[in-house]
Amino acid sequence: MNIIRLVAREFLGMFVDDGNLALLALILVAAVTAGVKLLALPPLLGGALLLVGCLAILLQSVRRAVRQSGR
């Protein structure tokens, strides 16, 4: 049973290195999708929000990694 957990953890680690980054990206995509579908935001605005939001999430993740590394 331990080998199955180890393989599953390694497999998940290939796709999700930073859990916070992945979670925030999923929340962003869900929020923008809800805004476009439910609030009738223009799709071009939704795309711009995704771009800006993903860049902000990535910047926050890089800053956190730099702080943790002690640089």
Q: For residue range 34-65, what is the model confidence (pLDDT) as tens digits?
A: 999 999 999 999 999 999 999 999 999 889 88
How far apart CA 29 and CA 51 sit, in angstroms, is 10
Range of the domain at 65: 17-69
State residue 20's pLDDT score.
83
Residue 37 lies in a domain: yes
> The pTM is what?
0.75
Query: First CA to last CA across the chain, in angstroms?
Result: 40
Report residue 70 as tokens: 């002690």
- The model's confidence at residue 71, banded by pLDDT at 50, 70 and 90, is low
Query: Does residue 5 belong to any structural domain of this protein?
Result: no
Residue 6 within a domain: no
Measured distance CA(27)–CA(38) in Å, rounded = 16
In a domain, 21, yes or no: yes
**What is the number of domains present in the chain?**
1
Position 11 in a domain: no
Alpha-carbon distance values, 63 to 7, 44, 51 (Å): 30, 29, 18
